[in-house]
Amino acid sequence: MSRIKEIVMATNNANKLREAREIFSLLGIEVVSMRESDIECDPEETGETFEENALIKAKAVHDITGRAVIADDSGLCVDALGGRPGVYSARYAPNEEKCSKLLDEMKNIPDCDRTAYFECCIAFIDDKGEYKSFSGRCTGRIGYEEKGTNGFGYDPIFLYGDKTLAEMSPDEKNSISHRGAAMRELYKYLKESYGE
């Protein structure tokens, strides 16, 4: 297979781009954002799973560019809430209200039933249109209050061991995070399939 030198990431999120660039630079692959590629598209995420939503985003960008693309979808799944907010994590509440809304929903849930996990699925489409997906999961529990100032989204209320994700350094979080796990799976695939 021919070597891939550049991948468009279907995002303009600076945190996701930085993480992907750090990982894939080790393979000599440059990761570029939609903005850097002059792509404007915002497909509706109508999928019922993280994989379906990631593929919708990746396919939309691939259809425009014909180039290799990666896209991800991820969210928080709380067991006591039947897996909610799940694929609706981003739309569950405005950013500044996400944690407080979830804590309110969980206020009568005992410690033993506060299990939850973050899940991420990354869709990869190569320049020929071949598709693969890679998943990662980070299992923990929901705390009782917001703690920490690092991270974003639900990180301040998601406990991994005795720390929230928002209390961890970026390196600590990347080593156990759902997105980090999915990225490592994609890295292995790219190295085996498209490496030197």
Active site residues: 73
DSSP string computed for 21-42: HHHHGGGT-EEEETTTTT----
d(CA 20, CA 42) in angstroms, rounded, equals 20
Residues 180 and 172: their CA atoms lie apart, in Å, by 11
Compute the distance between CA of residue 124 and CA of residue 51 in angstroms, rounded to an integer. Answer: 11
- Alpha-helical regions (H) of the chain: 14-24, 50-65, 98-105, 170-176, 178-194
CA 183/CA 165 separation, integer angstroms? 18
Vertex 52 angle, CA 138 and 90, to 5°: 60
Q: How far is CA 143 from the centre of its chain?
A: 21
